A and B are shown apart, each in its own frame.
Chain A
Amino acid sequence: MTHEHAPRVNHRFDSLTINRLGLWLFLVSDASFFIALLSSRFFVSGTHTPEYVDQVLGLGLTILLLISSLSAYRAEALFEHGNIEGAKRMLLATIGMGIVFVFGVAFEWHEAFKHFPPSTGFGTILFTLTGVHVTHVVTGVLTLGFVYFRIRNTTSIGDNQFAVEGAVKWWHFVDVAWVFIYPTLYLLK
Chain B
Amino acid sequence: MTAFMPLVRGIIYAAIGYAIGAGIALSIATTTGEPSTEPMIVLGFVFAVIGWLMGVGMWTTWGRGWFGKSTTMDITGGWERYLRFNVDHKVIGIQYITSLVVVFLLAGLLAMGMRYELMDAGQNVFTKTTYNTTMSLHGIMMVAVAVAAVMGGFSNYVLPLIIGAEDVAFPRINALSFWVVPPVVVLLLLSPLFGGFDTGWTAYPPLATQTPIGGLLFELAFLTFGISSILGGMNFIATIITQRAPGMTWGRLPIFAWSVLAASVISLTATQWVAYGLLMIIFERIFNMVFFSPPGGNALLYEHVFWFYSHPAVYIMILPAFGAELEIISHFARKPLFAYRWVVRAFALIVFLSFIVWAHHLFTSGMGESLHGPFMILTELISIPTGIVFLSALGTLWRSKLRLKVPLLFALGVVFNFSIGGLTGIFLADVATDIALQDTYFVVAHFHYTIMGGEIFAIFAAGYYWFPKITGRMYNETLGRIHFGLMFLFYNITFLAMFAPGTVGMNRRVAEYPPEFEFMNLITSLAAFALGLSFLPWIYNMLNSWISGPKAADNPWGAKTLEWQTTSPPPLENFDEFPVVTGDAYGYGDESVVHAKFPNSTNAVPAEGD
Contacts and interface: CB of A to CB of B under 8 A. Distances in A.
B253 interface: no
A44 B301 CA distance: 8
Nearest to B234: A25
Contact of B272 (A11, A33, A40, A123): A33
Interface in A3-17: 3-4, 7-13, 17
Interface string B149-168: 00000000000000011100
Contact of B270 (A30, A32, A118): A32
Of residues B283, B295, B296, which shows the largest number of chain A Cβ atoms within 10 Å of its Cβ? B296
Given A9-B166, A10-B575, 4 more contacts: A3-B61, A17-B242, A26-B234, A29-B268
Nearest to B269: A32
Given A11-B242, A29-B272, A43 B165 contact: no
A80 B267 CA distance: 35
B74 interface: yes
Given A3-B73, A26-B234, A120 B301 contact: no
Interface string B235-251: 10110011111100000
Of residues B73, B235, B269, which shows the largest number of chain A Cβ atoms within 10 Å of its Cβ? B269
B354 to A, nearest CB: 14
Interface in B67-122: 68, 70-76
Contacts of B301: 40, 43-44
B287 interface: yes
B288 interface: yes
A99 B276 CA distance: 26
Given A3-B61, A11-B165, A43-B301, A121 B295 contact: yes
Task: Give the interface size class of chain B.
Answer: 35 or more
A46 B260 CA distance: 39
Contacts of A2: 70-73
Contact of B297 (A9, A10, A124, A146): A124
Nearest to B169: A18
A86 B579 CA distance: 47
B237 A18 contact: no
Interface residues of A, number: 40
Contacts of B400: none
Interface in A94-149: 118-124, 127-128, 146, 149
Contacts of B243: 9-11, 13
Contacts of B70: 2, 4
A37 B276 contact: yes
Nearest to B71: A3
A30 B65 CA distance: 25
Contacts of A7: 166
Contacts of A8: 166, 573
B452 interface: no
A33 B272 CA distance: 5
Contacts of B300: 43
Given A2-B71, A120-B290, A146-B66, A36 B272 contact: yes
A30 B272 contact: yes
A155 to B, nearest CB: 15
Contacts of B73: 1-3
B542 interface: no
Given A3-B61, A11-B165, A33-B276, A119 B268 contact: no
Given A2-B70, A18-B238, A120-B290, A43 B75 contact: no
B313 interface: no
Contacts of A43: 298, 300-301, 304
A29 B288 contact: no
A127 to B, nearest CB: 7
B273 A10 contact: no
A10 B166 contact: yes
A10 B290 contact: no
Contact of B280 (A17, A18, A21, A40): A40
Interface string A142-180: 000010011000000000000000000000000000000
A21 B276 contact: no
A22 interface: yes
Nearest to A46: B296
B288 A44 contact: no
A44 B269 contact: no
Contacts of A124: 283, 289-291, 296-297
A28 interface: yes
Contacts of B305: 36, 40
Given A1-B76, A10-B246, A28 B269 contact: yes
A183 B464 CA distance: 55
